Amino acid sequence: MSKPDAIIIGTGVIGSAISLELARAGWKTLSLDRNREIGHGSTAGSCAIVRMHYSTFDGTAFAWEGYHYWRDWAEYLEAPSGSDLARFREIGCLVMKTDGNGQLARHMRFSAMLDCPFEEWDSAQILDRLPVYSLESFAPAKRPDDPDFGQPNGNRIEGAVYWPNGGYVTDPALAARNLADAAVRHGARIRLGATVAAIVQRNGRVAGVRLDDGEVIDAPVVINVAGPGSARINALAGVLDDMTIATRPLRQEVVHVPAPEGFDFERNGTVVSDGDIACYCRPEHGNHILIGSEDPPCDPHVYPDDDQAYDRGFTEQWTTQAMRYAQRVPALGIPNRARGVVDLYDASTDWIPIYDRSALDGYYMACGSSGNQFKNAAIAGKMMAALVEWCENGGDHDAGPMRFRLPRIDRDIDTGFYSRRRPVNEQSSFSVLG
């Protein structure tokens, strides 16, 4: 495909969803990825958690909409019978009430406004579901070299909120391949092992891309969905000066440990967000527990200069996260050998993604989504496809942001919420669960 209607840079879960939705709308799309396999950038390292609770209304609405596509995954994809599809485990999501999250008052209010089911649990209900837990409070989160690490502060976790429709997707890279396969069935094309070296411009608008081997591919629309490489691509396009929200790669470590002996966490556990110890967790295959960080202030943020050349080895952060979780689960065994994932987020200034056009006509961005938008892949694809068509047909998204209908929950949202020019959203949690 030498002259596609649109080039999509990235074949992760968001990029593949955009490719599918544009192809369904009749666009000839060409997806490019420097990796040799679909979904093998930051998507493959995702914890693939599907949750509904957010500290903003727009975020809650988008996530509640997004859940419905995972629930009806085969139907959404129009997948042939017998297809190998990623599986959504709907095991619920439990969030501990803390002073830091305002006892979840905002989250519950937004869920109630959207008819998104949730339940308030007391401490007895928490322990009934998770009998290996201790509900001592340890806030604020500390590092193991702090002399007060592991010392309860005298308070207890008295309650939580449970969103029964939460869960996780068992194979995030397979989910991206499912989306890409569906796009190909609608005529989309994909080239792997293709690294973008330049964004071609003519007469004040995008005109295509140049690859690192010198090949130029012409296209009137280019969409940057390059994950942790998004800032580099935006720099090539020369659009950074127009943005109040920046993106950059953020290094993350995720811990895998065995569940405590005698408790089947894989079968009976749930996704848990625990701001008191600044950890989230979910079940993992083989009765393991996956533990991620909720990025407390005491932890250093590591932003690599190069989104390909960075330290992929485990550090003391692995031990910190494992030990923090052991405060909540005293019977947890911490192996001598570190296991888990080291990967990059594409993190925005306020941890809310950018779904927007740019200052360069024809050049669009779906950036800053790592760690927080896997759950929203399908609806993000729909919204980006609608945005591209709207702008290319003359819509002035900067002067009057497009309104977008969330079809499953029958709500409109202002897509300006995801603008590159927005002020930093102070209602954001400035962390992810993902």
**What is the per-residue pLDDT across 217-247, written as a single tens digit (0 to 9) for each?**
999 999 999 999 999 999 999 999 999 999 9
| Residue 71 resides in a domain | yes
Q: Is 425 within 8 Å of 350 (Cβ atoms)?
A: yes
Q: If you average pLDDT over residues 174-190, what whole number do you get?
A: 98
User: Residue 292 is part of a domain; what is its CATH number?
Assistant: 3.30.9.10
User: Residue 26 is part of a domain; what is its CATH number?
Assistant: 3.50.50.60
Q: Kindly indicate the confidence band of residue 196, based on its pLDDT and cuts at 50, 70 and 90.
A: very high
Same-domain check for residues 264 and 209: no
| Residue 280 resides in a domain | yes
Distance of CA 256 to the CA centre of its chain: 19
| Residue 281 resides in a domain | yes
User: Burial level of 368, CB count in 10 A (0-12/13-18/19+)?
Assistant: buried
| Residue 327 resides in a domain | yes
Q: What is the DSSP string of 349-415?
A: TTS--EEEE-SSBTEEEEES-TTTSGGGHHHHHHHHHHHHHHHHTT--TTTSPPEEEETTTTEEEEG
Q: Which 3 state secondary structure label does DSSP give 177? A: helix
Q: If you average pLDDT over residues 287-303, what whole number do you get?
A: 95
- The model's pTM: 0.96
Same-domain check for residues 266 and 315: yes
| Residue 1 resides in a domain | no
pLDDT of residue 433: 59
Domain that holds residue 183: 6-83+171-246+350-418
Into how many domains does the chain fold? 2
| Residue 117 resides in a domain | yes
pLDDT of residue 432: 63
pLDDT of residue 425: 76
| Residue 331 resides in a domain | yes
Of all residues in the chain, the percent with pLDDT exceeding 90 is 95
Cα angle: 302, vertex 307, 308; to 5 degrees: 120
**What is the per-residue pLDDT across 144-174, written as a single tens digit (0 to 9) for each?**
999 999 999 999 999 999 999 999 999 999 9
Same-domain check for residues 340 and 253: yes
Same-domain check for residues 312 and 213: no
Taking 60 as the threshold, does the pLDDT of residue 434 lie above it? no
Same-domain check for residues 255 and 342: yes
pLDDT of residue 134: 98
Q: Which residue bears the tokens 């919420």?
A: 417
Same-domain check for residues 69 and 14: yes
| Residue 257 resides in a domain | yes
End position of a domain, from candidates 347, 381, 396: 347
